[in-house]
Every structure is written in structure tokens, then in C-alpha cells.
Chain A
Amino acid sequence: MKLTSKLKRQLCQLLGASCVQTDETSLALYGYDCSVSRARPDGVVHLQNTQQIAPLLKWLYAHKIPFVAHASATNHAGSCVPLQGGLILNLGALNHILEINTREGYALVEPGVVVGDLQARLAPLGFFYAPDPASESVCTVGGNLAQNASGARCMKYGATLDHVIAVHFVLPDGSPVSWTHGQPGPDMIGLLAGSEGTLGIITQLKVKILPLATHLETFLVAFPSLQQSIQAVSDLTAQGVIPRCVEAMDQLTLQSVEEFSHAGYPVDVGALLLVELDGSASTIKKEKKVLEQICHQNQAQYFIPAVSQAQRAKLWSGRKSAFAAMARLAPNVMVGDGTVPRSALPDTLQQVQKILQESHLRAGLLFHAGDGNFHPHILFDQRNSLETQHAHRVMNEILKLCVQAGGTLSGEHGIGVEKRAVMAKQYDVSTLRAMSRLKQLLDPLSLANPLKIIPHNYAEKAAAGPVLSNEIKTLQTQLLQMYPCPIVGLNSQLKTKEKKILSSHSLDQIIEIDTANYTATVQAGVSLTVLAQALKKAGAYSVLPAAKGSVGGAFCSGCFPDFYAHVTGIEALLPNGSFIRYGGKFTKNSAGYHLTRLLAGSQGTLGLVTQLTFRIFAHPVDVLKPQPFTQVAPSSLWKQLVEEWRTEVAHG
């Protein structure tokens, strides 16, 4: 819509004339991000403080004006492009670090704080903020949560979502809300991870900060083939060694990187791993020994430890300049971020290389070997529309390949507009519908960053969903007949007067304990004791205790909030009987709304969780202590969500 002079005048009165721009030049400069997409907004608003956000959103809601949050706009998916025009809300000036509390280990920041600036403030205090996207010198903490960004350290420390303790947020209708991790009820912060500004505006974040590692050692290891390098990473994980970073390059990329940066990489090898260990001196010593042994078992050709800080910097300079090495070769670089289960990485990479070779496009391949996330860098010139279309086609093919391999379209960059169409390949109709209803609930007028994430006509394009087993079908029928009814596990402490109770006790199958990816897939009714025994038999461990109750109960009751971060995939029946699937055996996912977190701690109100996939470990880990069960009365938003998903059956 066009911003009329009357509306502009009102906006100027609301925020101050200096904060509002509608000139052609400003509009042209806020229509892009790091992707190829472009669109023209109708106005740009430079916000000066967080107090301006709620009244502004109220005003926008009253006038039905779409808006897009914008800070550094460094994303690769077109998430900041205003497809429906409207206002750009520039949050760049909301860059104040409000508090750093080293005793309790958190930092309170505004959404526009640049990650690199936060790290610079924390380093002298002996602390760091774990997420480290490659663009950390310019990307913002708020943007990172909106994309659920991560980086090289993700394997050990997790993505942004795992480091956010609390969020202040303004919904598109201008109502402010505050959510805290671990608060009774669904983990609403999880909703924001990967939401790409489509649910409202983040106004403040409380993030975890961690003490800096006392010791750090970096190793460069070269292998004859990509498969052997990946096998080494799997073996390393199996031995219980979780490196701080495991970065990898294929031959083609390492040759171009070495030619460009002269980092001292051997070029006569098939693949290269850059491994970094952190922790105490004794731990590193032990882990180094294991690493060396495993690398030799996998026929490593070179094992080069960085003996000095300068050498470490030199080794990293190669990896860090990989993007630069590619960026010089062509005006545009399309960067993908498909993620697959680690065990599927070698095969997937082989097929990706084949696709790239057949495409006749120049491309390089970099990957975070530890978490199965890989970045094809496709070179093209945007001015050549045929070449651009071809690059998009090739990238879509690669992304589809990731989905076929049991992975996700996006591990850390988000969906935006550029991967939107491929979402229909990853999720079935009911899952996409659940996401769509979620968006509709929080943003009924579709004003917050409209037309992103969920594909158009998904009902026609997306797959119909899996064939349900008999036991799930039975539960589905019961759910439709009985809802609203309490849903219980094996050790439910829910106090209810309802006579009709739906139990997950029939879902007692352990589907898979995968020691290649170190994930377990179990049905929700599996008892924790049975799980512990099965894991012991397989030589694996989980963070769940061998206590009373079921895995689903542990997840939904809210007694184990720290377990949520370990859950990578979920299957569930929603109140309307539709069956949804989200996530899988891959460790990071930025494709769509984080449905896993929404069902976590929901105490059965949002549906029946039927299956969970979660991380397990090769070595004993600290077992979580359960928090006392608190039966919570759903908040109004929670109730609305239940209602939205329940009544959806009528529309569906």
C-alpha cells in the first residue's frame, strides 16, 4: 500500500520527522539484503528506542500497514525484502548492551546489538557469547534469533535459540509480551527462532554468556577422501570428543582458498578438516590423543597442530577467507545451507558435487562437518537473468537432495523468500498448515514481514503426509472424539476431573538408536527406564534419567526444560487430528517455525506428541534433574493457539 501524506504526517507525529523517510533513494536502499531478491518499501522508519516499537506497531495495525524488521540485513534468503511494500523498521540504532552479569552468566541486549560488538565487550571480562555466524562482525543478536543462526561452534554449543534465556517481544497488534526459557507452558522463545520477523518485533533479549576457554588447540588434518574425513568426525563423536569446531573443505575449495590466502593448506589431498578443541589442559591432552589416533585410523595424510597463536590464526585465515576467495570470482555468490544427518553427509556431498559439475556453474563447497551443514557457494552474475535462474534451479535441486537425505533446507540461514517454494518438499500439508495457522493467530492481518516462509498454494504443492500406522490412527480417532481431554504419559501428575483421558502408553516402540549420528528416535510412550536400558545396550547415554514416566512426558510436562535443546525432531497429533512432523536426525534447523519447542512443556494441551528424536552420547553425561511439576493454567495466547489448532479442522 502507498503511504499517503496523511499517514506520513501521523507517523511523523508519532516518531518525529527525522525518523521517517519516504524519499525514492532511501526506499531503493532498503529494498535488498544479501540475497538476489529486491522489493520497494513505502517508507523507512529509523527507530531510536525500544519504547517506540509498541505504539508504532499499534498504529500500523490500525492502518493495516505491513512492516519488515531490518537491522544489518545480512541474510542470504531474502528475509528482509519487503515483498508487500509497507514500512521498513530499521532497528540498527537499538544497539545498546544494557547489562552484563558475569556472576549469573547473562547479557541483556537490545535487538540491534552486533554480535561482534558483544564479543568485544565480553572478551576482556573473560566471557564469550557462543553463537558465531560467519558475519558476526556485522549481524545482530536479534537477527540471529529471528533466523536461529549458528556458526562453526554450533556442534559443541548449539544455535542461537539454545543461548537465549528471555525475550521481550511486541506482537503485530502492538501488544508487548515477555517470554522466559523454562517458564511453565510451551517454550514460546522457540517460536521466534526461525520466525524471520513474521510474528512481531523483538525488543530485548537476555542471552547466555560463557567463560572463555582456558585452553584452545587447533589442528589441520588432511584426508585422501571426503568420506574418510567425515568418518573421522563420526568416530570422534563416538569416542565422546565434541570439538569446539570442525570445519571442512573439499579439494576444489581448498585449492582455490590456498591460492587466494596462502594459509599453508596442503593441496594434494581429497579433503581437509580444521578441528579446534577447547577446555582444560588435561581434557585437551586426552582429546588430542584420541583425535590423532582416529585421524590415523582414517588414513589422514597430514596432521598439523598449530604450535603458536600466529599459526592458529594462519590456519583459520584460510577458512575465514573462503567466502572472499569465491566472492572475487563473480559478482554474486549464492550460498546454500542445507543440512543432513552427519552419516548422510559423504553421499549427499558426492551427489551435490555431481549436480554442480553437471550444471556448468562455478561453485565451491564448504561445510561444518560436525553438524552435517554444508554451504555450496554458487557463482553467478545477477545481471544475466538466465544464469540467475539457472543458479536458483541448481540450488533448489541441492536443497531437495538434502530433504531426500533426511535433512533440512536450512540449517542456519532461514527460508525467507528464496527457499519458500522448496518448503513444500520438506513439510507435508498438515505441518505447513499448522505453521500457517500459527502465523495467522499471532498476525491475523498478515502485517509482519508478509509472504515469507510458508509457500503459496502449499495445499496443492506439498505432499499429503505419511501413511499413519494403526496405533496412530486409533489415537487420532480418539483424539477427535475426546478433545479437549487431558493427554497423559506413564507418570502423569496432571490433576483433572475429566473422565476421558487419552494416554500415550500404546506408543512404546524404540524406533532407532543411531550410533552413527548419535540420535535416538522413540515413541512418546517409551518409559525412561526402558530407554536407559536400550541405550546402555547400544553403548549410548542420554541426558534423561532412568526414572518413572515416559519420554513424551519428560518432554511435555515441563519438568526437564534443558531437555528441549536435545530434541531435534518431533511427530505429533494436533487437536484437530492432523499429523505433523518437524525436524529429524539433523542437529540444526532454521526451516519454518520451531514446532518442537511449542509442544515442549505444553502439558498435552496443544496435541499428542507421538514420537521424538533426540541427541544421545557415546560417553556418560550429566543427567538432568527433574523440576517439580507445576500444572499451569494456559495463558490467553496459549488458549488462542489451542483454539486455533482445534477449530482448524472445520476450515481444513
Chain B
Amino acid sequence: MAKSAAHSNKTLRSLCTALGKRSVYNSVAHCNRCGLCAAVCPVYAKIRQESFSPRGRNQALRLVLEGKLNLRKNKAQLKQIAYSCTLCGQCSQVCPGQIPTVQHVLELRRRLSGAALPSSLFKLMRLRETSPRLFAEIVRGGLALHRAKLLPGFSWLKFLKERLPRTHYPAFNPPAQQRPTLIYLPSFEAQFLRPDIAQQVYTLAAHKYHPAVWLNTPSGLFEYVYGDLPRARKLVRCLLTRHARTGNGKLPLLIDSTELYEFLQQAPALFDGFDTWQRKAEHFVSCLRFVTDLFPKKLSAASTPSPVLFMSTSLLGAPAPLVAQTQEILHTLFKKNFVQCEYTSACLPPFGYGLGNTQAVQGLHLSAVGTVARHQTRTVVVCSVGTALEMEALLHRFYPSAQVRHVAHLTDNVCNLTTKATS
């Protein structure tokens, strides 16, 4: 009991599953080990070991909860299990009981709190809130050290060196707006690494909702993914407050990346047991909009000589309605040239969220590039800025004839919306 009290703040009381609200143990006990999830797990496809399968991850958490696996004694192995998951969520899609494996993996990470990353990195991430400029400078310094081989690289860090020096914060800093009609919350990647995408989204938003306001607030996604639930809650609370205080508190909130959208959709679950905040979070969720909502309803077909490939890969799993919406847009725009690729062959490690297993990372990268090459496409469309960054770096290295376009970039194909908005 003492243990559970200590964990009470660090772990979730219940999970919102497809079968309703359940305690974590009840949710994980619903896995009947049929193993169908393994068929779509991109990491298991490369490594073929039970510890790297969704079933194995669920069973590991179950054994921990049942006290059959000691968390302290088996920390190294459990850490490997918890941090080898790309959190893509495909397993839940095929699971007969729709077991929320991603939620279970996050729960395991929370119970291994502090084990994943050095606390200095958490402190560094906090600088995003207090001093974004300093944060950008430190990341640049880190890259210099990495180049000098004085800093061991995370799988994703090396990709930054191509991007960050050119696009460091704040490349795009829109003026403050009076009486805004929309809030744009850029993802971390759009904020610091690809402000061109942020600008594109902002311009697109400004065309429909004028004026739009830019919200430079950390979302808490990083902390949520790395098991620091109290901090994630705190950041989401800040976000809810900022949203409530901007305009009439009912402004639509525009998101540019599927993972951020999915994370914010889960905001009410973070405040289970905190009724006031949960109500606020529910209202907040009702205001969320994705960048595809900005597209006009009537689209005319665009001409393209080569196939256009859509990769829906994303951290926490791209929500099905958003994927369907993007697919519809792409289908209307590119007709027969639009290709939807299979998830397992195009799942990327979550950019910036360090998938620990290098064997799997390399395999996933090669699969993704292989898929692009197989379809002989020149355009890869993604709906997450993180995915755009990772894919761009890969294509630059292995398949330079193809380029990555965030879904917001498709506005160039729709009409001259961008020009109109700018003028």
C-alpha cells in the first residue's frame, strides 16, 4: 500500500480504454495473449523477441503490478522493454480487445521514473519554458560537442545538425494580435527545428481565422512520454490556463502534429480525480483543431507526375479520424497517384523520443526508406513535424530524389491561399 501511495501522484489512477474507464491492472489483465498485435509491431518485426512485442510489454507490466517481477531488481530489462516501444499504437488497432498497449508502456515508464534519461536532460527541457533562447543555444552547443565526439548521440541528435543552425529559434516570430480568433500551438519540433512549417501553418490559419495568435508554451508531451507525469500535468494545466485566458476562453486551438493532438486529446485522463481540472480539460479538448481542418471543403485535383506517398506514422498513433481526413484530402488532390503505405513498413522511431535499441532503429529507418524507393515516389506526405524531420534526414542520406512535405504544405496545391493570406 505504501508503494501505491508513493506512486499515486506519479501514475494514472485509471485509463480511458476502448472498453471504458478501467484501472491499469484491469486494463492490462484484459490481454489474453493471443499475439495478434505482434503482426503490426514494427519493432517486433525487426527483432522477433517477446520482450519487444506488444504482448510482452503488456505482460511485463502485469507481472510488475502483480508483484511477480521486482521493479528494482529488473530495472535494466524493464527499461529496455518500456523504451523499445515506438508508441505508434498500431497494436491497439488490431487487438481484439483494443488493449491500450501504449498507455501500458507509458505506465511502465512512470513506474521506472527517472530511469530513462539523465535528470540534466529533464532540466534542459524545462528551459523551454523559462528561457527558450537559451534552450536553443544549448542545443546548438550540444550539437557542436556531438560533432567533436565529446557527447554521445541519441539516434535523433545527429539529424539536428543539418537543421538547427539554419533555423534556430526564433526564425519566425509573428506579432502579438488583438482579439484573436484562433490560437496556434506549434509542436516542439515546429517551434525550434522547422519554423518554416510553423510559418506555413500560421499563414494558413491566418487566412481562415484572422487574426490568429501564436502560443509558445510547452505542451508536456516530452514529460508525458518520458514518464514524468506530475510535470506533464503541470504543463498541461498551464496550457489550459493560457487557453482559458486568451480571447473568450473558447477559441479553437490549432495543432500541427498528430502526436501532440493525440496527447492533448488525453488531457482529461491526466486529471482523473481532479474534477475541476478534468472539466476544464474536457472543454479544452473540444476546442482542438488539426491543420487539415483548415483545408477548404472543395478541392480541385493537382497534377503530379509521380506517386504521392502518405506516411501516417506518428508518436502515440495518429488518431484514425485525422488519418482518414488527410487521406481524403490527398485522394482528392492526387487521385490515382496517391499511395497509402502500410504502417509496419513505414513506421519511424519517434523523433526526439529516443528509441533505445539501435538494431531496431536502423531496421525501421531502412524499411521506411525502402518503402519510398519501392513506390518510386518523389513526395512523401506526413502529418507530424517530428516525422517530417526524421524522414527528411533519412531521405537526404539514402534517397535524395524524394522530398518530405508536411500536410500543411499541400496548401500550395490547393490554390494560392498562401499568397492571398500574406498579401
Report A-chain residues with C-beta under 8 Å of the C-beta of B19: 328
Cα A24 to Cα B81 with chains together (Å): 13
**CB <8 Å contact, A138 and B38:** yes
Selected contact of B48 from candidates A25, A32, A34, A95, CB within 8 Å: A95
**CB <8 Å contact, A73 and B48:** no
Report A-chain residues with C-beta under 8 Å of the C-beta of B81: 25
Indicate whether A34 sits within 8 Å of B32 (C-beta atoms), given known contacts A24-B69, A46-B49, A95-B48.
Answer: yes
**CB <8 Å contact, A327 and B50:** no
Indicate whether A25 sits within 8 Å of B78 (C-beta atoms), given known contacts A32-B59, A324-B96, A383-B29.
Answer: yes
Report A-chain residues with C-beta under 8 Å of the C-beta of B69: 24-25, 28
Selected contact of B68 from candidates A28, A114, A135, CB within 8 Å: A28
Is residue A240 within 8 Å, beta carbon to beta carbon, of the partner chain?
Answer: no
Indicate whether A23 sits within 8 Å of B74 (C-beta atoms), given known contacts A114-B39, A331-B32, A332-B32.
Answer: yes
Is residue A29 within 8 Å, beta carbon to beta carbon, of the partner chain?
Answer: yes
CB distance from A164 to the nearest CB of B (A): 23
Is residue B300 within 8 Å, beta carbon to beta carbon, of the partner chain?
Answer: no
Cα A24 to Cα B68 with chains together (Å): 10
Return the chain A residue nearest B97 by Cβ: A327
Scan residues 25-59 of chain B and give those whose CB is less than 8 A from a CB of chain A: 26, 29-36, 38-39, 48-51, 56, 59
Is residue A178 within 8 Å, beta carbon to beta carbon, of the partner chain?
Answer: no
Indicate whether A135 sits within 8 Å of B35 (C-beta atoms), given known contacts A29-B56, A92-B49, A328-B19.
Answer: yes
Selected contact of B74 from candidates A24, A30, A46, A326, CB within 8 Å: A24
**CB <8 Å contact, A25 and B77:** yes
**CB <8 Å contact, B74 and A324:** no
Is residue A93 within 8 Å, beta carbon to beta carbon, of the partner chain?
Answer: yes
Cα A324 to Cα B33 with chains together (Å): 13
CB distance from A452 to the nearest CB of B (A): 18
**CB <8 Å contact, B49 and A328:** no
Selected contact of A323 from candidates B29, B31, B68, B96, CB within 8 Å: B96
Cα A244 to Cα B39 with chains together (Å): 25
CB distance from A344 to the nearest CB of B (A): 29
**CB <8 Å contact, B35 and A138:** yes
CB distance from B36 to the nearest CB of A (A): 6
Cα A25 to Cα B285 with chains together (Å): 38
Cα A382 to Cα B39 with chains together (Å): 25
**CB <8 Å contact, A328 and B97:** yes
Is residue A348 within 8 Å, beta carbon to beta carbon, of the partner chain?
Answer: no
CB distance from A300 to the nearest CB of B (A): 30
Is residue B164 within 8 Å, beta carbon to beta carbon, of the partner chain?
Answer: no
Is residue A605 within 8 Å, beta carbon to beta carbon, of the partner chain?
Answer: no
CB distance from B203 to the nearest CB of A (A): 39
CB distance from A352 to the nearest CB of B (A): 21
**CB <8 Å contact, B29 and A331:** yes
Report B-chain residues with C-beta under 8 Å of the C-beta of A324: 96-97
Selected contact of B34 from candidates A25, A95, A135, A382, CB within 8 Å: A135
**CB <8 Å contact, A327 and B34:** yes
Cα A137 to Cα B37 with chains together (Å): 9
Return the chain B residue nearest A30 by Cβ: B50
Scan residues 24-41 of chain A and give those whose CB is less than 8 A from a CB of chain B: 24-26, 28-30, 32-34
Selected contact of A28 from candidates B36, B38, B49, B63, CB within 8 Å: B63
Q: Size range of the interface on B?
A: 20 to 34
Query: Chain B, 131-153, contact with A by CB distance < 8 Å: what is the 0/1 string?
Result: 00000000000000000000000
**CB <8 Å contact, B50 and A29:** yes
Return the chain B residue nearest A23 by Cβ: B77
Indicate whether A34 sits within 8 Å of B35 (C-beta atoms), given known contacts A24-B73, A28-B68, A324-B96.
Answer: yes
Indicate whether A112 sits within 8 Å of B48 (C-beta atoms), given known contacts A74-B35, A328-B19.
Answer: yes
CB distance from A448 to the nearest CB of B (A): 20
Scan residues 41-99 of chain B and give those whose CB is less than 8 A from a CB of chain A: 48-51, 56, 59-60, 63, 68-70, 73-74, 77-78, 81, 94, 96-98
- Counting chain A CB atoms within 10 Å of each CB, the highest count among B30, B34, B96, B97 belongs to B34
**CB <8 Å contact, A74 and B59:** no
Report A-chain residues with C-beta under 8 Å of the C-beta of B51: 25-26, 29
Scan residues 14-69 of chain A and give those whose CB is less than 8 A from a CB of chain B: 23-26, 28-30, 32-34, 46
Indicate whether A116 sits within 8 Å of B33 (C-beta atoms), given known contacts A90-B49, A323-B96.
Answer: no
Cα A326 to Cα B32 with chains together (Å): 11
CB distance from A584 to the nearest CB of B (A): 30
Cα A93 to Cα B29 with chains together (Å): 28
Report B-chain residues with C-beta under 8 Å of the C-beta of A92: 48-49
**CB <8 Å contact, B38 and A72:** yes
Report B-chain residues with C-beta under 8 Å of the C-beta of A402: none
Selected contact of A328 from candidates B33, B35, B39, B96, CB within 8 Å: B96
Cα A322 to Cα B39 with chains together (Å): 19
Report A-chain residues with C-beta under 8 Å of the C-beta of B29: 331, 381-383
Cα A33 to Cα B96 with chains together (Å): 16
Selected contact of B39 from candidates A30, A34, A137, A332, CB within 8 Å: A137
Cα A284 to Cα B38 with chains together (Å): 37
Selected contact of A29 from candidates B30, B60, B94, CB within 8 Å: B60
CB distance from B60 to the nearest CB of A (A): 7
CB distance from A151 to the nearest CB of B (A): 14
Return the chain B residue nearest A40 by Cβ: B68
**CB <8 Å contact, A34 and B73:** no
Cα A138 to Cα B34 with chains together (Å): 10
Report B-chain residues with C-beta under 8 Å of the C-beta of A328: 19, 96-98
Cα A463 to Cα B3 with chains together (Å): 54
Cα A135 to Cα B96 with chains together (Å): 12
Cα A125 to Cα B32 with chains together (Å): 36
Cα A116 to Cα B342 with chains together (Å): 14
Is residue A230 within 8 Å, beta carbon to beta carbon, of the partner chain?
Answer: no
Indicate whether A73 sits within 8 Å of B59 (C-beta atoms), given known contacts A28-B68, A29-B51, A331-B30.
Answer: no
Is residue A422 within 8 Å, beta carbon to beta carbon, of the partner chain?
Answer: no
Cα A73 to Cα B32 with chains together (Å): 12
Query: Chain B, 272-287, contact with A by CB distance < 8 Å: what is the 0/1 string?
Result: 0000000000000000
CB distance from B254 to the nearest CB of A (A): 34
**CB <8 Å contact, A73 and B35:** yes
Report A-chain residues with C-beta under 8 Å of the C-beta of B63: 28
Cα A332 to Cα B30 with chains together (Å): 7
CB distance from A381 to the nearest CB of B (A): 8
Report A-chain residues with C-beta under 8 Å of the C-beta of B33: 32-34, 73
CB distance from A79 to the nearest CB of B (A): 13
Report B-chain residues with C-beta under 8 Å of the C-beta of A32: 33, 59
- Counting chain A CB atoms within 10 Å of each CB, the highest count among B31, B35, B81 belongs to B35
CB distance from B25 to the nearest CB of A (A): 9
CB distance from A345 to the nearest CB of B (A): 26
Report A-chain residues with C-beta under 8 Å of the C-beta of B34: 34, 74, 135, 323, 327
Is residue A333 within 8 Å, beta carbon to beta carbon, of the partner chain?
Answer: yes
CB distance from B23 to the nearest CB of A (A): 12
Cα A137 to Cα B32 with chains together (Å): 17
Cα A332 to Cα B59 with chains together (Å): 14
Report B-chain residues with C-beta under 8 Å of the C-beta of A331: 26, 29-32
CB distance from B340 to the nearest CB of A (A): 16
Cα A252 to Cα B34 with chains together (Å): 23
CB distance from A244 to the nearest CB of B (A): 23
Report B-chain residues with C-beta under 8 Å of the C-beta of A90: 48-50
Scan residues 70-105 of chain A and give those whose CB is less than 8 A from a CB of chain B: 72-74, 90, 92-93, 95
Selected contact of A135 from candidates B36, B48, B56, B73, CB within 8 Å: B36
Cα A74 to Cα B53 with chains together (Å): 13
Return the chain A residue nearest B18 by Cβ: A328
CB distance from A388 to the nearest CB of B (A): 12
Report A-chain residues with C-beta under 8 Å of the C-beta of B35: 34, 72-74, 135, 138
21 of the cross-chain contacts (CB-CB < 8 Å) are A23-B74, A24-B73, A25-B60, A28-B59, A28-B69, A29-B59, A34-B32, A34-B35, A46-B48, A72-B35, A114-B39, A116-B39, A135-B34, A135-B36, A137-B36, A137-B94, A327-B34, A327-B97, A328-B98, A331-B29, A331-B31
The 3 closest A-B pairs by CB, nearest first: A92-B48, A324-B96, A327-B96
Apart from A32-B33, A46-B48, 8 more pairs, CB < 8 Å: A26-B51, A28-B60, A34-B32, A116-B39, A327-B34, A331-B26, A331-B32, A382-B29
